[in-house]
Every structure is written in structure tokens, then in C-alpha cells.
Amino acid sequence: MRLSRFYMPVMKETPAEAQIVSHRLMLRAGLIRQQAAGIYSWLPLGKRVLAKIEQIVREEQNRAGAVEVLMPTLQSADLWRESGRYEAYGDEMLRITDRHKREMLYGPTNEEMITDIFRSTVKSYRQLPVNLYHIQWKFRDEVRPRFGVMRGREFLMKDAYSFDLDADSARKSYRRMFIAYLRTYARMGLKAVPMRADTGPIGGDLSHEFIVLADTGESQVFCHRDLIEMPVPPADFDYDGDSESVVNERTSLYAATEEMHDAAAFEALPEDKRITARGIEVGHIFYFGTKYSKPMNAKVAGPEGTDVLVEMGSYGIGVSRLAAAIIEASHDENGIIWPESVAPFDLALVNLKPGDAATDEACSKIYRELGAAGRDVLYDDTDERVGAKFAAMDLIGLPWQVIVGPKGLAKGEIEVKNRRTGERESLTVEAAIKRFATRPAF
């Protein structure tokens, strides 16, 4: 994409309303624009990041055996009356009345709806297990939205729902998601630690929050140091094999949010193993048994021929929130530093002197050949001053900057800058093309 044809409204100054760094940088780099309290438009750069995050989530869900569907944002109140949550959910739920005076709501989550889909289509235990997920916008009418998309009212979320015949297999389903989550966050360059969580209003007896450690985190968290450096299950992890040891290895070490914190147990750890930090919740998984299947009568015929209530779990990932969480975890004073896997473009190509024949030609060659190789290149072909160009590129945080100017070219060189480390390297045009033309596999 040529910057001259792209839409990327970057700002030098920070809008007054933004308090935390991710919110400031998202506004300054032109990722989002606020439309109302807690409601945002996603501009091209932000939209690209969102799509990258979404795709990683999707790939890991699929790998773990979950199946994608798409449920609507608007739901009927009747469905929620069945579970009793229409009354229980309170003012957080945005209620809407349609022209026929039918009561509707903008879904804050989808347990009822997925249970309805399940019960009307799955009749036998032979069809189990089933795990369905979707990636859809949700709305929770937070009393006080803040921190940009970190705590918006409208947010993009992946939510998966598992259905099993009995508690044992339901726990197996839970572990699949647990492992898929470890991989998902790691692929985004995040260290997310699973912590015992309060099951809250959704209920159930087994639940973990996945927490990214960041100074600006909303809650205090406590965990064992070894959790931070634990290796991630590989891409070819056998989900049908032993998931228990992977999960146990992690859940046996101390890790808890403030609400679940047990000071005595934590103090019992060796001092150098204790980590007290701030955390951002980026996922939450629950096993809640028959909490919804029972009131909504979701049953299948069991092996003995009698109907059995299905055992359910639900598994959320805050997709839009992750965009902010990644920035919180990865930025410097100049701007965002995107991990390669979620960067809106693979690299920036900076033409320091548009109009200079040799510079234009070198840039054009790099742009075309990397494009042909499948790389997403943001080519800054604009007339801005170099200082402004560099500042903008640092701000938007693409992992690599390929810098081409007449001075370097006179020596047969262009410059490659690593946004994260700041390291610069001089290469020939051909060497730079070769370097970036091959996409590293994760």
C-alpha cells in the first residue's frame, strides 16, 4: 500500500481524554476514533490489527477442534427469560424494543443463544463433543467505560461454547481451550498467565482468567515466577493426547488475581519466585456444567437411551481489548512496537526523497518484489520531511523500516531498521529484498 493512497490520520498531539498509553497511541497512530462513550470506529490501521488478532484466534480455535459459527448481535429477550438472566443481568444489558414492541437486546454474551441452537439440532450423545465459537461484537452498557477499547461498551469478542456428555469429557474440552489460549497469546507476542478466577455471575466451579502482565493493568495479580517462562505447547500439539499434564503443570503453581488471592499461600513461596504485578485480563474460560442446559432443557440421548443434560463450558477472548493490551505490553516513548504477527503491515518502506530517480526506482523495485512475494508493505512515497516520516513510522510501530535515500544509494546501500531494538543495518537493495521476501513460519 502506498501511503499517498492510504488513510492514516496520525496526530502529533495527544487528545486530552486519553489517559493510558495504549489509548493515547491508538488515537495518535490513527487506529481508532471515538464515536460515543466506549464506542469506537476502527480506522484502517486498527482494522488491520484487529483482523490479524482475529485470525490468530481463529486458527488456534480451529486447531483445538472448535468450529466457527456466527450468531447475531441482536437477540430476543425471551431466550434470556428462559435462563433467568433477562432479569438478573441488570442495566449492563442494552435493551431494545422493535417496531412491533417486541423486546430485544444487544447481546452481551451468547450462552442462551448457542444453547438454543444446540438443543434444537443435537439429539444424541454420539454427536458429542461439540465446541462452537464465533467472533462477534458485543455490548455491555458499562457504567463507566474508560481506557479506550480496553474497557469500551462495544467490543469484539471470541466466545466458544463446549457441549459434552459428562463432567469428565467437559473438563477435557476445558483443557483443550486452556491450551489453545496459551498458544493464541504467545503467537501475539504476549506472556499471558492463567490464573484461578472467580466465576462471577456466569457461575460454575472451574474457571481461569488469562492475564497479561503490564504496568497499567487494571488489577493486582500474584503469581509464581516460573509461570512466566514456561514453554508454549507446539503447533502440532496433540489435542487428543495428554492435555492434563500441560494444564496441571501450570495450574499447580500459584497464580491468582486480587479477588482470589491467598496471601498465606503466596508468602509460602520462596521470595525470588514471587511476582506481584498489574495485569490485564485478555481471556476467561469457564466450566459451568448444566447451568444453562438445565433451565433451557438442552438434553441428548445418552448411551442408555435416557436423556441427559449436557455439560457446558464457555471460553472468551477479548479481541478488541487485545489490540490495546498488546500496545500496553509493547511500546516505547516514540510509539507502538507491533509484534510481527499482529502488525498492520509487515514492514515500512521509506522513500527519503520522492522525485529522485534512483531513489524512486529502488523503492519501486523493493515495493513490487516484496509485494509479489506476499509481503504487506506500507510504502511511504509522500513528500513529507524525513523527520516527520520517521516519527510517523516509529509511532505506528511496524516491526521493520526499510529506508531508502540518495546518500545511501550512492554507496549502493539502503538501511534496514528494527523498530524494537533500534538496530540499523546497511544492505544492498537485492539483499534487503531477499531478507524480507521469505515469510517466517510460526
Under 8 Å CB-to-CB from 140, ≥6 apart: which residues?
92, 93, 94, 108, 153, 155
Residues numbered 221 to 280 that lie near RNA (CB under 7 A) are: none
Out of 86, 106, 147, 222, the residue judged to bind RNA by CB under 7 A = 147
Query: Residue ranges of the alpha helices (H) in 105-166?
Result: 111-121
| Residues forming a β-bridge with 318 | 157
Q: Minimum CB separation from RNA for residue 239, in Å?
A: 23
CA neighbor of 14 nearest in space, from 3, 2, 23, 4 = 23
Judged on CB neighbours under 10 Å (0-12, 13-18, 19+), 316 is buried
CA angle 286, 279, 73 (to 5 degrees): 50
Q: Which of 237, 408, 429, 432 binds RNA (CB under 7 A)?
A: 408
Which neighbouring-strand residues pair with 286? 207, 314
User: What are the backbone dihedrals phi and psi of residue 21, each rounded to the nearest 5 degrees, phi first?
Assistant: -60, -40
> Minimum distance between the CB of residue 398 and RNA, rounded to whole angstroms?
12
**Cα–Cα nearest to 321, from 209, 241, 420, 162:** 209
The minimum distance between CB 334 and RNA, in angstroms, equals 6
Phi, psi dihedrals of residue 333, rounded to the nearest 5°: -65, -15
CB of 381 to RNA, least distance (A): 14
Using CB under 7 A, pick the residue from 146, 225, 273, 365 that binds RNA.
146
Residue 329: which of 22, 65, 60, 103 has the closest Cα?
22
Comparison of 119 and 154: residue with beta carbon closer to RNA: 154
155 contacts RNA (rule: CB under 7 A):
yes
Quick check: 391 binds RNA (CB under 7 A)?
yes
By the rule CB under 7 A, 431 interacts with RNA: no
Please report whether residue 371 would count as binding RNA according to CB under 7 A: no
> What distance in Å separates the CA atoms of residue 274 and residue 271, rounded to the nearest whole number?
5
In the set 57, 285, 347, 392, which binds RNA (CB under 7 A)?
392
- 321 in contact with RNA (CB under 7 A): yes
Q: Rounded CA gap, 297 and 300, in Å?
A: 10
When the beta carbons of 200 and 371 are compared against RNA, the nearer one is 200
Interface with RNA includes 145 (CB under 7 A)?
yes
Q: Which of residues 200-219 bind RNA (CB under 7 A)?
A: 200-202, 209, 218-219
If the CB atoms of residues 49 and 404 are measured against RNA, the closer one turns out to be 404
Residue 16's φ and ψ, nearest 5 degrees, are -60, -30
Among positions 20-39, residues that touch RNA (CB under 7 A) are 28, 34, 36-38
Our finding on whether 358 is near RNA (CB under 7 A) is no
Residue ranges that bind RNA, judged by CB under 7 A: 10-17, 19, 28, 34, 36-38, 92, 140, 142-147, 149-153, 155, 157, 200-202, 209, 218-219, 281-284, 316, 318, 320-321, 334, 352-353, 384-388, 390-392, 394-395, 403-409, 415, 417
